[in-house]
């Protein structure tokens, strides 16, 4: 009897332990179920938030795509404008090349014209020089006769001499009377510097024309017209100064002028 009672007691204890274990398991399962539902709710909320974020991102990407399309259109427009500008610059370059060719052609024409003009001026100057000499040279013997009271014994124009060493000198006109030799320089335009050059040339005359070694030289400068400052400079050097006037060639020196004997 005691053995059966012991077994019954052990069985009761086992049943109680199982019941306790079952209640603990039920409570644990219940807590787990509650936690799972809460987690699922949280997960659902997070998924909805993620979905909303994805939708917002999708909208932003759509906006970005539209902006990129607009930018692409703007770049295409800019590219077209640059192509038009490039074509315009190519046209401008071609126009400049044509202009350059025209300017070169014009320059060549001007060089030809200038060369021809210089030649014409040279021929005109030669003719003018010859005309001036033709006007003035015949007047020199007449003036010398007035100054000296008698006609020149010798008169010559365009007298040129060359020395053995090759040096050459030419004088426009010379008139000899007594022991005086009048030496004339005729210019189309007479400048102050011509006065000093003429005086320097007088000093070399006897070297080129030794036959006039014993003559006293008197200088005469002549031109169609002579400025007063040139006349004054010529007088300081003791030279006669002639210009075209009422008597074809008139003396421009002041009254009572006496020439220097070189």
pLDDT of 55 = 81
Mean pLDDT, the chain, integer: 82
The order of strands in the sheet holding 216-223 is 154-162, 168-177, 180-186, 216-223, 240-245, 248-251
Q: Which domain holds residue 182?
A: 137-251
Instruction: Examine residue 259 and state whether it is found in any structural domain, yes or no.
Output: no
Encode pLDDT of 53-111 as tens digits: 778 778 888 887 888 888 888 889 888 888 888 888 898 889 888 888 888 888 888 87
| 158 and 189 together in one domain | yes
- pTM, to two decimals: 0.52
Q: What is the DSSP string of 59-85?
A: HHHHHHHHHHHHHHHHHHHHHHHHHHH
List 159's β-bridge partners, or say none.
171
Annotate 86-152 with three-state secondary structure. Answer: HHHHHHHHHHHHHHHHHHHHHHHHHHHHHHHHHHHHHHHHHHHHHHHHHHHCCHHHHHHHHHHCCCC
pLDDT of 66 = 87
Q: Report the CATH number at residue 157.
A: 3.40.1350.10
| 99 and 223 together in one domain | no
DSSP 206: H
pLDDT beyond 70 at 180: yes
Place of tokens 């040129």: 160
Encode pLDDT of 140-165 as tens digits: 899 999 999 999 999 999 999 999 88
| 1 and 125 together in one domain | yes
**Into how many domains does the chain fold?**
2
Catalogue the long-range contacts made by 82-85 (C-beta closer than 8 Å, 24 or more residues apart).
Answer: none
| 39 and 66 together in one domain | yes
Encode pLDDT of 187-229 as tens digits: 989 999 999 999 998 989 999 999 999 999 999 999 988 999 9
Q: How confident is the model at residue 249 (pLDDT cuts 50, 70, 90)?
A: confident
pLDDT of 22 = 61
| 110 and 229 together in one domain | no
pLDDT of 215 = 96
| 171 and 118 together in one domain | no
| 18 and 112 together in one domain | yes
């Amino acid at each position: 009897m005691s053995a059966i009672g012991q077994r019954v007691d052990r069985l009761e204890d086992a049943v109680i332990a199982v019941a306790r274990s079952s209640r603990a398991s039920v409570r644990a399962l219940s807590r787990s179920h509650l936690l799972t539902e809460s987690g699922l709710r949280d997960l659902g909320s997070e998924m909805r938030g993620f979905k909303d974020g994805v939708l917002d991102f999708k909208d932003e990407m759509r906006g970005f795509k539209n902006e990129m399309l607009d930018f692409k259109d703007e770049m295409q427009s800019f590219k077209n404008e640059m192509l038009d500008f490039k074509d315009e610059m190519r046209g401008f370059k071609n126009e400049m090349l044509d202009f350059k060719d025209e300017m070169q052609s014009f320059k060549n024409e001007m060089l030809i014209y200038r060369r021809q003009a210089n030649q014409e001026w040279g021929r005109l100057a030669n003719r003018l020089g010859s005309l001036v000499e033709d006007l003035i040279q015949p007047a020199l013997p007449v003036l010398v006769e007035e100054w000296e009271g008698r006609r020149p014994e010798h008169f010559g124009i365009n007298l040129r001499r060359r020395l053995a060493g090759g040096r050459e000198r030419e004088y426009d006109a010379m008139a000899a009377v007594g022991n005086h030799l009048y030496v004339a320089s005729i210019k189309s335009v007479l400048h102050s510097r011509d006065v000093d050059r003429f005086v320097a040339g007088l000093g070399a005359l006897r070297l080129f024309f030794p036959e006039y070694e014993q003559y006293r030289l008197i200088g005469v400068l002549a031109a169609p017209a002579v400025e007063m400052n040139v006349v004054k400079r010529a007088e300081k050097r003791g030279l006669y100064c002639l210009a075209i006037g009422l008597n074809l060639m008139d003396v421009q020196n002041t009254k009572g002028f006496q020439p220097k004997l070189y």
